[in-house]
Structure 1
């Protein structure tokens, strides 16, 4: 009996701790309205009923106000609000809050820098490599500043000018593939098709090797590229919780992350084994490419395996911007066998990985190899599906709006149906209406629903309440900014749910937002953490759209409209965007 009583006590103790924290938090933030959430399961049933985080977020904003809380394993924070402008949602003893008011969100994005990145489930007990803690997105403080400085050359104007050639070559390959589908009368999933192109672009730019995603069926592909593509796609499909059943206990007991991670590593399910293997594939292929690169340059030794403390103190030197895009410059004529002309080093000079290694002194100091690999991994994960989603939404919106399509075609025809779009055209504003169409797509369908910031100041962070007064957000809490909500809010945008690209042009002033555009239109975030590759993404998308509409229009398949979305790692089309390719006369 004593043994049984002891076991029961051990089982009851965690529950009592959860109940105590839940009660304390409910009392502390009792002024903040929101749906009642029982302990442990919190608001999970309501989220499941809505089907996706983005619909639940917007429903909460409409019902409870423009500062609200929502839950996710990776969302852990607090922002106080007035009863008219706040919402609390609970998960166990955790409370998760979003700011869906543009000025408040702007203050958060501009005054706070660090991100709060949760742990990563893995079937690897050693867990030697953790890309989610070494990449630019997760880096904090001086480490982040050093890494961002090392990223900068890849997105200089001279780099983008040369990358445009690669983007144009990949867009032409996409157009050729879609042309074959049109001739055969086949419907295609535009989302998956443009995804092949964006993976080809970011993969080649990141590693300097051809990812072969645009190859015709049955064509031989380069080994490294094929492995990296398959692994990257598997990671995206798995989502934030690795697609594992072990993600459910993390949702219910977020404070037990270490315990759940320990158990998952020892009793992994197949989904966790698969995504762990995908991560290992990326690391192993990357290490092999780095070894080849180092051997070709006289066997430079890698830096010690450690956090980039040295680089934090002294940022990595930048490679000359003019030389940065050497790989991209010859990309349209790249060897389809997987090797690039002029050498067999694997990593082409001027690729992002090559740039990081060159700027790292050949690995002799500064960033260790794992940190360099993590940056290339981040480059792909940040640039692949986000741009594919934006392109798919834009193609959908143009196809669903004949008036918009007519203006897009007229603008592209005036530019020239046989003329190659380049960096100077994109940067010089040669496509004002097409760019407005792209912006309107990102406003209604942002790939990233929100941004977040960790309060790392010991004194906390004061947040002004919409109803007056302020609250101190404590050290260690996280604040989320819900751009999806305020970019669709009728308080800031006339006719917010209508697709009206002219709102971004002088002629559409009646549809323009009531606040400055950069305050209320933030698809790439804001402040110091503004997406470093936003110009790269914009250039890639515009070049692809020009090349496609020079040759085609698209007829959406029945049932595609209205488009159904779901939030995974990004906001994605739930069922793709199926359409038939129509060749222009």
Structure 2
């Protein structure tokens, strides 16, 4: 539910919080980036601050956010997000820019178009159904661990195919190290250290990336050696050709495979974790979700064609992405002659926006901290301005895997929620910023059977 909304004119640029010589606002940002962004938002729509020596501008209005998202590659340069981020993702479609980015986007995009996502949907639902078959009423689980293991399995199988024994655990462990290193670097002084400066975290990251490179290289080489053609993401990347008929090199294949893996595993697993957290604390929403799933599915495993019949399930996913967006900030660097909201920007100014603070802005989302999936009902009022909700970014550099992620989240949620309530232990869980917005503490829960209000007995996956 988005609509073009007439908004008042922009506020003038206002100064941010008091800053320290040389460090600027880095200490406050590092202590709690999310709270820091909310404070900037509440100061005004255009707020000047400094991240170390860098001059920065924080934007909060949807039309300014839209200018930033749409202007990357034209008005704004894509930013460098640190040595750790670059080491993990390489020169993939997320980190490259200019002609290199346009070539890679053209090569990768066909692999995640809606038509191709349809072929992956069965794997998503089948993996979720296998997990539901393994769960037992009364069982104690760590929600985040279960969801990351599930989305890891889905990511590996849709990316590399079904014959991936051992790959899930090896790559998963290395990626856990990688995302922690990226988060730690981004929040600290190491962001400004040159790559040749060794730190314990950087040494751990190098070892993790060596594991990732070796495993992806091994699977790619085996596929090349056998010449086997498979209808998975790796197969589509291997078959891709640019306008001059050139394939992706081994290094490019590695970079795009890792990028797709992170998008299909870490971000969706984190979204599902937060969804269970919110449903556990909102029994009314959980009951409405259960009624929809019972009426539409009647105990069977959902398929892609069921998505249009599960609007509330999708709204649960969208509201989760509003409150706990996996990607929690976006940046761009002003080019010469750049403007924002009609105001000229000095070349090199880093423009920031945050999904966390924008998605919780009471101007666009009344009672912003409340979990209300019905916000996303068709025709609900008030309407949400364009770019007030942007969990997948926007413009030309919007996340290529957005459709994949939404389909996966809805299918997994539908498969599991129709059979189990996930009752999390009491207590609030604060988010922790890293590569994605993760729970800052474990999420233990107890599984409980859902009471099925249907006359037919529930089918097991094997009986379908």
TM-score, normalization: structure 1?
0.70
Question: Which residue in the other structure is 1:90 paired with?
Answer: 50
Give distance in 2, aligned partners of 1:119 and 1:574.
Answer: 22
Aligned position for 1:43 = 25
Q: 2:232 aligns with which of 351, 370, 375?
A: 351
What's the secondary structure of 2:238's corresponding residue? helix
1:553-572 alpha-carbon deviations (Å, 9 max, x no partner): 1222122xx33111111111
In the alignment, structure 1 residue 372 sits paired with structure 2 residue 234 = no
Q: Paired residue for 2:116, among 142, 150, 159?
A: 159
Partner in structure 2 of residue 393 of structure 1: 274
Q: Give 2:203's aligned residue.
A: 273
Q: Distance in 2 between matches of 1:53 and 1:102?
A: 20
Q: Is the 8 A contact 2:263 2:405 kept in 1?
A: no
* Residue in 1 that maps onto 2:39: 59
Deviations 1:441-461 (A, max 9, x none): 1111111112222334xx331
Indicate conservation of the 8 Å contact 2:57/2:349, yes or no: no
Q: 1:532 matched to which residue of 2?
A: 400
SS at match of 1:103: helix
With over 3 angstroms needed to count, the CA separation of the structure-2 counterparts of 1:105 and 1:224, relative to structure 1, is same
Could you tell me how far 1:498 is from its partner in structure 2?
1.4
Structure 1 SS opposite 2:14: coil
In 2, Cα distance between the equivalents of 1:358 and 1:520? 38
Deviation for aligned residue 1:249? 4.3
SS in 2 for 1:39: coil
Does the residue aligned with 1:239 lie in a helix, a strand or coil?
A: helix
1:192-211 equivalence runs, <5 A? 192-210=145-163
Give 1:131 deviation, angstroms.
Answer: 4.8
Deviation at 1:35, TM superposition (A): 1.5
Task: Pick closer, same or farther for the CA change 1:226–1:556 going to 2, 3 Å.
Answer: closer
Question: Quick check: 366-375 or 533-542, which moved more?
Answer: 366-375
Confirm or deny: 8 A CA contact 2:155 2:261 kept in the other structure: yes
TM-score, structure 2 normalization: 0.87
Kept in 2, the 8 Å contact 1:242–1:275? The answer is: no
Following the alignment from structure 1 to structure 2, what is the Cα–Cα distance between the partners of residues 234 and 209? 25
Query: CA separation of 1:366/1:359 partners in 2, compared to 1, >3 Å: closer, same or farther?
Result: closer
Match status 1:228 vs 2:163: no
Corresponding position of 2:286: 405
**Aligned-pair distance for 1:552?**
0.9
| Matching of residue 144 in structure 1 with residue 101 in structure 2 | yes
Provide the aligned C-alpha RMSD in A: 2.5
Q: What is aligned with 1:472?
A: 345
How far is the alpha carbon of 1:581 from its aligned partner? Answer: 0.5
Q: Partner residue of 1:26? A: none
Q: Is the 8 A contact 1:135 1:374 kept in 2?
A: yes
1:439 positional shift:
1.0
Q: CA deviation at 1:53?
A: 1.0
Distance in 2, matches of 1:100 and 1:494, equals 16
Max radius of gyration: which structure? 1
Match of 1:308 in 2: none
Q: How much does 1:366 deviate?
A: 4.1
Residue 575 of structure 1: how far off its partner (Å) = 1.0
The CA deviation at 1:210 is 4.8
Is it true that 1:484 corresponds to 2:356 in the alignment? yes
- Structure 2 matches for 1:492-531, cutoff 5 A? 492-506=364-378, 509-510=380-381, 512-513=382-383, 515-516=384-385, 518-531=386-399
Count of residue correspondences:
436
Which structure carries more relative contact order (alpha carbon 8 Å, separation 6+)?
Answer: 2
SS at match of 1:520: coil
Tell me the CA shift for residue 350 of structure 1.
2.1
**Pairing 1:414-425 to 2, within 5 Å after superposition:** 414-425=295-306
TM-superposed CA distance for 1:367, in Å, is 2.7
Assess, with a 3 A threshold, how the Cα gap between structure 1 residues 120 and 579 changes in structure 2: closer, same or farther: same
What corresponds to 1:262 in structure 2? 196
5+ residue gaps, structure 2, are: 1-11, 452-464
Q: Secondary structure at the match of 2:352?
A: strand
Residue aligning to 2:8? none
Q: Is the 8 A contact 2:330 2:353 kept in 1?
A: yes
Aligned twin of 1:175: 132
Contact 1:483 1:523 in 2 (8 A): yes
- CA deviations over 1:509-560 (Å, ceiling 9, x no partner): 24x33x53x332211111111111111111111111111122111222122x
CA distance in 2, matches of 1:574, 1:119: 22
Q: Secondary structure at the match of 2:422?
A: strand
Determine if the alignment matches structure 1 residue 577 to structure 2 residue 443: yes
User: Structure 1 stretch 480-489 or stretch 531-540: which is displaced more?
Assistant: 480-489
Does the C-alpha gap of structure 1 residues 460 and 577 become closer, same or farther in structure 2, counting only changes over 3 Å? farther
- Classify the secondary structure of the residue corresponding to 1:453: strand
In structure 1, the gaps of 5 or more residues are 1-29, 68-85, 123-128, 212-221, 298-344
Answer yes or no: is 1:383 the counterpart of 2:264.
yes
Residue in structure 2 matching 1:445, options 303, 324, 330: 324
